[in-house]
Structure 1
Amino acid sequence: MIPAETVRSLRMMAEAMTPQMPMSADLLTMLTDDVESNGPISRLLADHPESGTPLFPMRALAGVKLLVLTGRAPELAHHLRGMMEHVGDPAYTARSRDLFRRALLDHPDDIRSALDRPVQQHQPGRSEYLLRGMTMLAAPKVRLLEIGACAGLNLMVDRYRWFGRGWEWGDAASPVRLAAGGPRPGDIEIVDRAGCDIEPRNAADPHDAAILRSFIPPEREVEELDLNNAIALAAESGIRVEKADAVEWLREQLSHPGEPGVCTVIWHSLFWWYLGSEDQTAIEEILAEASERMQVARVCYEPHAWAGAMRLQVVTYP
């Protein structure tokens, strides 16, 4: 059963998406309407054991996008190529709904597989906020640890080329070239990096890469290009993320004394609210205890609550 609170969050999300992603917002609204009316899509989703978790119906949207990416929904794929030419066209919108519903209901096994996967919106541009946080810390050497790291794209923040107002930073030869705000970062050397995820993705695996792309709305063509470049760079770099529980992984990573002059930065984004309150408290306790042996900071880009505004936080532990 999908709870009423989740339905309200989905409607708020669809409303927020409408100005920039009108078709995706409309499809999300259609899916939400079906859930409320106990329609055929709802019956496919509602018996899943995780149906009450936040953003759960977004997994269905990603499942349909994966069908498009893998050539299993050719009619919808062809239709989406005309999307930008038909913004605001009621007939096109109605056809989009029909093709989306058909793709979803015609491939129940694929959609059920998609429903088993966590939401992994893994755009490399989000690491702009990690970069800002590290700039605030003014630490010349950083050991970077990410929880909820997915495929590790944010762990490569220094391997991207960043363009701010009057400054550039990062690898000048990087294929991933991104805009950034804030002041110019200083000389930051990442001396070690590692990440964990309960369901990690390997950028070098074509199926995993397609799953990552499936969470990008079709209107976000530039973001998908950035993601493609970051996936290729991660595959070439051989970066891997360990399959592990965040609490236990952090406890192990921070169990030994830190190196002098190195700040250990724990980074996470759109991850915190997937944790229960006990795990959140445990992580805070682990970081506070580790600060007795090393310089520790937590940099995060999270909403204050589900469907809330995103905000950057930099927390140091004396």
Structure 2
Amino acid sequence: MDLKNDKIAAALEAQIQACDLLGSPLTKAVLEVCRDNFLAEGIVAKLTRGWAGDPLDDNVPLRLAGFIHFSALGGDAALAPHFASCGGAFRAGAKNALADAVLDCFTRHESAARRFFRRTPQTNETGRAGVLLLGFSEIARRTRLPLSLREMGASAGLNLLFDKFNYQIETADGPLTWGPADSALTIASHWRGAAPPPLQAEIAIADRAGCDLFPVDIGDAEARRALEAWVWGDMATRRARLLAALSIADKTPPELSRADAAGWVAAQIMNRPRGQTTVVYHSVVWPYLDVSQRMAIESSFAQAGETVTPDTPLAWLKMDHDHIQSFSHLSYRLWTGENGPEGDEVFIGPCHPHGADIELRDGFWKN
């Protein structure tokens, strides 16, 4: 089989390279097993051959790796010793044993794997709050109103709780701390480049809600395990963040709706409350929406720009990119009711897709 001419194999190869860049030797090894077995027309080929959509856009490699981690977290005795998340450790010298465990898992649980593949990969990466905080603070500073948070593609809604996290941030001006000191979750981020703006000492949140085609009910044990499984099994820091965020959400679960993004966003924009700034935001969601959804969302914002008043401001905060393979960036567009129907667009800077750092553009906040 020609690796270059098969979309599944090419998607696997691309994700293997991404694992190298992002520092997950375990997930790289799992996907190398999947690639080799796919090329040999084994169980992985049987599971994925004839995939209806684009394998890269649909994250087929992540679905494969996710099911293996899901199985390890569920107590698969052959897989668990290779996963730090299960108390084990990945060893390069044990790749043959890992390969046997991976392929045996797919073979024994073929039906379960197919069901799992219907899930959408959702890491609900709370590390992204480390850069989203900049946008929320700037929007609050400029409008001087409580924020009404509306997240599209919210997954379990963990980032809707951003104000309940503690932040330890390295900046050009030295260390910066924000948020409750006794939070179960501490977010570390590095704000490089220009000096950052002063953060609002407190960001008032009027209410918070999110939508997702497949919202994660963290009260459901299997859904919760699947959410954990999307975080690669050798990334201890990311896993610790997720577990800490889940402990916060257990106490204050956000309101989530199962809804199409375009229709939900249109309704939120249309029903903006007075005396609050409606902030529609998303992080690493835009590439997964089809063109018609993107156009509908853009149209909703364009129409809203004509109706915004000083007591119904609207913001669109984006930590996203235009194609799955490009870097992320943080930006927002704000309609204040006094800055015209197109509002102001502010590009804050390029950032790591997990929120580990951002390169601040000089002077973005001086308006």
Give yes or no for TM over 0.5: yes
Residues 74-118 of structure 1: CA deviation (Å, up to 9, x unaligned): 12112434425x3xx3x3122212211211221112101111101
Query: Quick check: 1:202–1:240 contact (8 Å CA) kept in 2?
Result: no
Shift of 1:17: 1.6
Q: Kindly indicate whether residue 99 of structure 2 is the aligned counterpart of residue 66 of structure 1.
A: no
Partner of residue 279, structure 2: 265
Determine the C-alpha separation between the residues in 1 that align with 2:54 and 2:323. 19
Q: TM-score, normalised by structure 2?
A: 0.78
Q: 1:42 pairs with 45, 49, 61, which one?
A: 45
Determine the C-alpha separation between the residues in 1 that align with 2:50 and 2:18. 28
Determine the C-alpha separation between the residues in 1 that align with 2:43 and 2:210. 39
Shift of 1:40: 2.0
Partner of residue 250, structure 1: 265
Query: Quick check: 2:282–2:319 contact (8 Å CA) kept in 1?
Result: yes
Determine the C-alpha separation between the residues in 2 that align with 1:301 and 1:36. 36
Amino acid of the residue matched to residue 67 of structure 1? S
Partner of residue 179, structure 2: 170
Determine the C-alpha separation between the residues in 1 that align with 2:8 and 2:48. 13
Shift of 1:69: 1.1
User: What is the aligned-residue identity percentage?
Assistant: 24
Shift of 1:47: 4.3
Q: Kindly indicate whether residue 321 of structure 2 is the aligned counterpart of residue 303 of structure 1.
A: yes
Q: 1:152 pairs with 152, 157, 176, which one?
A: 157
Q: 1:83 pairs with 68, 89, 93, which one?
A: 89
| CA RMSD in angstroms, aligned pairs only | 2.2
Query: Quick check: 2:272–2:278 contact (8 Å CA) kept in 1?
Result: no
Partner of residue 333, structure 2: 315
Q: Which moved more, 1:50-59 or 1:168-177?
A: 50-59
Amino acid of the residue matched to residue 189 of structure 2? A
Which ranges of structure 2 fall in alignment gaps of 5 or more residues? 336-342, 344-367
Question: 1:1-318 maps to which residues of 2 (within 5 A)?
Answer: 4-5=6-7, 7-18=9-20, 20-50=23-53, 52=55, 53-71=57-75, 73-80=76-83, 81-83=87-89, 86=91, 89=92, 91-137=93-139, 138-139=141-142, 140=144, 141-165=146-170, 166-182=175-191, 183=196, 184-186=198-200, 187-260=202-275, 262-291=276-305, 292-293=307-308, 294-317=312-335, 318=343
Determine the C-alpha separation between the residues in 1 that align with 2:42 and 2:333. 46
Query: Quick check: 2:149–2:279 contact (8 Å CA) kept in 1?
Result: yes
Determine the C-alpha separation between the residues in 1 that align with 2:62 and 2:257. 25
Q: Which moved more, 1:105-114 or 1:162-171?
A: 162-171
Paired positions, count: 311
3-state SS of 1:178 partner: strand
Determine the C-alpha separation between the residues in 1 that align with 2:160 and 2:64. 28
Determine the C-alpha separation between the residues in 2 that align with 1:315 and 1:9. 34
Query: Quick check: 1:196–1:242 contact (8 Å CA) kept in 2?
Result: yes
Determine the C-alpha separation between the residues in 2 that align with 1:5 and 1:22. 23
Query: Quick check: 1:50–1:56 contact (8 Å CA) kept in 2?
Result: no
Determine the C-alpha separation between the residues in 2 that align with 1:243 and 1:59. 21
Amino acid of the residue matched to residue 195 of structure 1? G
Shift of 1:135: 2.8
Determine the C-alpha separation between the residues in 2 that align with 1:51 and 1:42. 15
3-state SS of 1:75 partner: coil
Which ranges of structure 1 fall in alignment gaps of 5 or more residues? none
Determine the C-alpha separation between the residues in 1 that align with 2:190 and 2:205. 20
Q: TM-score, normalised by structure 1?
A: 0.90
Determine the C-alpha separation between the residues in 1 that align with 2:304 and 2:81. 54
Amino acid of the residue matched to residue 168 of structure 1? T
Determine the C-alpha separation between the residues in 2 that align with 1:130 and 1:7. 35
Shift of 1:218: 1.2
Determine the C-alpha separation between the residues in 2 that align with 1:6 and 1:283. 31
Q: Which moved more, 1:48-57 or 1:243-252?
A: 48-57
Residues 240-294 of structure 1: CA deviation (Å, up to 9, x unaligned): 311111111111112134423x322111112111111111011011112223233
